[in-house]
Structure formats: C-alpha cells, structure tokens
Amino acid sequence: MSGTNDLNDRDLFQRSLDRVRHAASHAHIDPETLVRLSLPRRVLEVAIPVRMDDGSLKVFRGYRVQYDDSRGPFKGGIRFHPSVDLAEVKSLALWMALKCAVVDIPFGGGKGGVEVDPRDLSHAEVERLARGYVRAIADVIGVDRDVPAPDVYTNARTMAWMADEYSTLMRRLEPGVITGKPVGRGGSLGRDDATARGGYYVLEEIGRQRNWQPAEIRVAIQGFGNAGQHAARLLHADGYRVVAVSDSRGGVYVPEGLDVPAMIAHKRDQRALPAVGTAITNEELLALDVDVLVPAALEDQLTAANAADVKAAVVVELANGPTTAEADRILHGKGTLVVPDVLANAGGVTVSWFEWLQNRSGSYWVLDEVHDKLRATMRQQFEIVHARMTADDIPMRDAAYAVALERLGAALTAGGTAADFQPRQAERQRVAAGAKG
C-alpha cells in the first residue's frame, strides 16, 4: 500500500487523540469529556499458544482494548494481521467509540487483534488460533460487557468458531456475545455486506445532493477484500462506472468500466485480480482521474506525500483511518469532500447491533427489514453530520467527531463534573473557616 512519509514519531494512537482534541474545539462538551477519553478503560495483551499442523508450537501475540462503555457494552472487531500492534488496536478502539456515537447506537468502543498473517496458516491452524484467542480474553467479554465482531482477515466462519468456544467455556449458549456470525449460527441477514452498504447509502445521499447520474460517475476502489468487493458490486449494480480496483499486490484500470461480477468471481477463485486493462499500483490508483475514491484497505494510505495528487471530488473511507491529518488538511483545502470512516463504514457495526438485538430477543428479521433499517440510520446520521459540517464550515470529519463527542460527553459527564463539585468544596471551606473563627 502507499507510503506514509508525513508520519512522525508519534504513534497512531497519539495521532488519533490529536485529531479528536482538534475536533473537540467544534463540540459543546465539558473539558472532562476529553480527560475521560484520553486513555482506554482496559488494555489486555495475551499470549496464544497454538499447536501447528507439523507438531511444532507457536505463540502468537494478541490484544483486546476496551476503550469506553459509557453508552453501552464495548463493541469492536478482531483483526488477524501481521502489522497488528497495541497502538493500532487502541486507535481502532477509540474510533469505534466515536463510530457508535456517530450513528447513535448503544455500544461503546473496543477492538481486538492478533499479530499473524492467516494466509500462512491452514484452516485448522486458524481455527485453533481463533479458539485460543477467545480462551485468552473470555474473562473480559460477554453479551452485556464486550461484543467482538470480524475485521481484517477474519470472517463469519472465524466468528462461528469464537462464539462456539465461548459457549463451551461458559457451558451455555450465548449467541449475542459475538456478531458477524453465519446466519445459521445466529447471524443476521445483511451482515455480510453491511459495511459497504452503509457507505453506499451515504454515497446515494451525496449523489442526490449533487444531482449525479450514476453512469457518469467514475469510481476507484483501493482494497478488494470484503468491503471493497461489496462496494464495487453495489455501485456497479446501481449503474456507477467502477474503473479501477486493487488489492495488496496492485490493481487494474479500465476507463470504460470493469466487469465487476467477473472481477469478484476471479478474485474468489484465484485469490488474485484478473489481468485486464492496465496494471497499476495502489499509489497510482489513488491519483486516478475519477469522481469517487473509496479507500477500503488499511490505515494511512492518503498522506501528505500523495494527497495533492488525488483528483476525486469525493473520498468515502470504507477503511479505518486511511487518511492522515495532514492529508485531510490538503484535501479540505482543495475542496474534496472526505466522508470519514466513523460515518462511511459504520454500516457494519449498525447491523452488528441489529444482530445483537435479534440474538437477545430470539426474533429474526427478513433481509428487506435489515436493509430498510440500515438505510434509515445511515441517512439520518449523514444528514445530521452534513448539516453540522455546513453550519460550522468545517471538514466532515470534524463535524462527525463533534457530534460523537457531544453524545459521548452527555454520557461521560452525567454523574457530574468539576463545576458540580467545586462550589460544595468552597462552601465546606467557608463553613470550616467560620467554625475556627
């Protein structure tokens, strides 16, 4: 993926906090809100021993970060990726807290990860790793405490293993402890494409505002995993011209538009993109002359080094944290609309909430109901964030963060702030002074 040469020695978590503090200047919150959000509630680092297929033993490093649960149980995915580290997981957990607040669902923020490349493991080894991870964190998760879900390089099958292992440990069925499960194991219809579909609904609203004709709109998608593939499928079916896609090996570009169903089928069967059109790098994809750019890969893809080259009028962040702060400033200065991750990819956690509700009630919804509820949620919250952006004349990320911080602040300071306690302290001091006199 692209370079990150504008990044300094401050790790991803510290840079994430800096952006929250910057956005807080546009939010009506008590200062104690930021104090409470400056550190996660709990950080768990675990060792996961796994017996490999050849009989050898490997120990993998794993994390679970529980950032804030003032609005509901911690919520956040589990990624299996070789670049996983604590700073990344803490940042993702903070973003999850903001994301759940942006779409106004009753979850807090959490995240988990294991430092591993699952492509180097057999299916049986991945299963043993998934079950070992759950055994390591079982004491801190639960249906009313912390609800994990899939993320990068994990999927519905991974979640089925994890939910099964947790039920075995607890000696009872607890389907609501994990979301993103297969439908046959208590998962929700519509969860498979929810992240991309939420971004698609947001893009629909932008298209409506700008009077777009889909056939005239060119789209480039960086990252052709679950979210990227579903985004390409949905946009292609709606008439948008998807002209470029890429994965970790590089991408392809066809100005007339790609045959998206064929691309998805080839990627599924061959685990690689087909050799069609012009071969391009991920860096070249970001700079294509398109109308919409969809970063759907990893963090820090749009940086100070390449933001000026972006020609898209709209950037829709299906990945978490794909745009650095400096790139944000450059893009905003150019008039580019960046729909931030905490809004653009919130469809996944929204349908995870639907799944959690269905698991708890024992009543399951048809697909159209899931889609209708998701569309209503994304449209409503997009309108709120867009109105805030317009009224305050600020980037959409700052507007989304401001909305989230105000919702979090209402919960975090409900028990009182310094302003509530200091007058009583002063009164006690006056009483004490009078007694001495």
CA distance 429 to 422: 11
Neighbours of 164 (CB within 10 A): 18
Helix segments in 116-259, DSSP class H: 123-137, 156-170, 194-209, 226-237
Q: Which of 111, 181, 334, 436 is catalytic?
A: 111
Amino acid at 436: K
Sign of torsion over alpha carbons 111, 114, 117, 122:
negative
Coil, helix or strand for 148? strand
Amino acid at 189: L
Please tell me the number of Cα atoms within 13 Å of 375 on its side-chain side: 9
CA distance 138 to 142: 8
Beta bridge partners of 251: 246, 280
Neighbours of 107 (CB within 10 A): 26
Residue 387's H or E segment, with its range, is: helix 367-392
Residue from 235, 301, 233 nearest 268 by CA: 233
Apex CA 322: angle with CA 235 and CA 92, to 5°?
110
111 part of the active site = yes
Q: H helices then E strands: how many in the chain?
A: 15, 12
Write out the catalytic residue numbers.
111
